[in-house]
Amino acid sequence: MSRFQGRVCIVSGGGSGLGRATALRLAAEGGSVAVLDLALESAQRVAREVEAAGGRAHPYQVDVADPASVRAAVDAAARDLGRPQVLVSCAGTGCFANSHEMPFEDWKRIIDVNLTGTFLVAQAVLPHLLDGGGSIVTVASNAGLMGIAYSAAYCASKGGVVNLTRALSDEYVKRGVRVNCVAPGGMATPFQNAFRNMPQGADLSSLGKIRSPLGMAEPEEVAALIAFVASDEGRYMTGAIVSIDGGITT
Ligand SMILES: NC(=O)c1ccc[n+]([C@@H]2O[C@H](COP(=O)([O-])OP(=O)(O)OC[C@H]3O[C@@H](n4cnc5c(N)ncnc54)[C@H](O)[C@@H]3O)[C@@H](O)[C@H]2O)c1
């Protein structure tokens, strides 16, 4: 397939996990991919992987929670690769915590990266998308659609991404920009390490509902869905929240 031939695609959090798989997928289908990540070395590694596979990619360092950093990275990508037509927002962070003990800095970092960061990258890319059309795919989580103990900040941030997506979709639907959200369940990525530490006194049985009988998804499976939604095959989709979570939010 070559659904992204001639298209410039920006992938935030492209240095690892789902962002890496998405960057590789979009590039394999002909896209020129800007790989944005806080960890420049990871972005560089993924860009090299894309090029080794015969694709085109450039790495950029970005902190999605910092408006100036986001603007600089998006401007540089547009200068180097051309007008962005696709944005996939994969950058994310999280951890388990007892809400009554959670340090303010942890709450703030999770909201800043997951929710504010998704908005800031969309805000910086939108002028390009409005100049001829395009598509945004945000990444939420089953955690944006259900309550999960010890995950107040993460659930709040991803619930915010869900409704941010709907609001942006409504605002831009008549102006050639589709905005959709993919909501994965557990994926086998380094992200899982951040959730290994349980808070003191945690009742593990309350977390049974976030385990699917189907186990974890591979990031490539979720990237395939993102590619469909972002491509012209998803033409009639906007404002959609698409779960890919092994049935845990049924
Ligand atoms: N892995 C899962 O089980 C799972 C489940 C549901 C949703 N998600 C969501 O999927 C998305 C991708 O997660 P993943 O599993 O690939 O995780 P990951 O940890 O493998 O990758 C996340 C990437 O985001 C980058 N990042 C973090 N903070 C950033 C910042 N401030 N600015 C720019 N980049 C930043 C990291 O450096 C990393 O490369 C996240 O939004 C996550 O919340 C993950």
Q: How many angstroms separate the CA atoms of 92 and 81, rounded?
A: 25
Q: How far is the CA of 3 from the centre of ligand 1 (A)?
A: 25
Query: With a 6 A CB cut-off, is 69 part of the ligand 1 pocket?
Result: no
Query: With a 6 A CB cut-off, is 64 part of the ligand 1 pocket?
Result: yes
What is the identity of the amino acid at 184?
A: P
Residue nearest to atom 40 of ligand 1 (CA): 92
Helix 117-130 × helix 152-172 angle, to 10°: 20
Query: With a 6 A CB cut-off, is 167 part of the ligand 1 pocket?
Result: no
> Domains of the chain: which residue ranges?
8-196+219-244
Class of domain 8-196+219-244: alpha beta
pLDDT of residue 38: 98
Residue nearest to atom 42 of ligand 1 (CA): 92
Query: With a 6 A CB cut-off, is 42 part of the ligand 1 pocket?
Result: yes
Query: With a 6 A CB cut-off, is 16 part of the ligand 1 pocket?
Result: yes
User: What does the longest C-alpha to C-alpha distance in the chain come to?
Assistant: 54
Q: How many angstroms separate the CA atoms of 212 and 161, rounded?
A: 23
Q: From the alpha carbon of 140, which atom of ligand 1 is closest?
A: 7
The β-bridge relationship of strands 56-61 and 84-89 is: unpaired
Give me the tens of pLDDT residue by residue for the chain, a chain 250 residues long.
899 999 999 999 999 999 999 999 999 999 999 999 999 999 999 999 999 999 999 999 999 999 999 999 999 999 999 999 999 999 999 999 999 999 999 999 999 999 999 999 999 999 999 999 999 999 999 999 999 999 999 999 999 999 999 999 999 999 999 999 999 999 999 999 988 889 999 999 999 999 999 999 999 999 999 999 999 999 999 999 999 999 999 9
pLDDT of residue 114: 98
pLDDT of residue 194: 87
Query: With a 6 A CB cut-off, is 245 part of the ligand 1 pocket?
Result: no
Q: pTM of the predicted model, to two decimals?
A: 0.98
Q: From the alpha carbon of 42, which atom of ligand 1 is closest?
A: 39
Residues noted as catalytic: 154
pLDDT of residue 1: 87
pLDDT of residue 26: 98
DSSP 217: B
Q: From the alpha carbon of 19, which atom of ligand 1 is closest?
A: 16
Residue nearest to atom 8 of ligand 1 (CA): 141
What is the identity of the amino acid at 229?
A: V
Helices (H), the chain: 17-28, 40-52, 67-81, 104-110, 117-130, 152-172, 219-230
Residue nearest to atom 25 of ligand 1 (CA): 13
Helix, coil or strand: residue 167: helix
Paired tokens of 239: 């404002």
Q: From the alpha carbon of 65, which atom of ligand 1 is closest?
A: 31
Helix, coil or strand: residue 210: helix
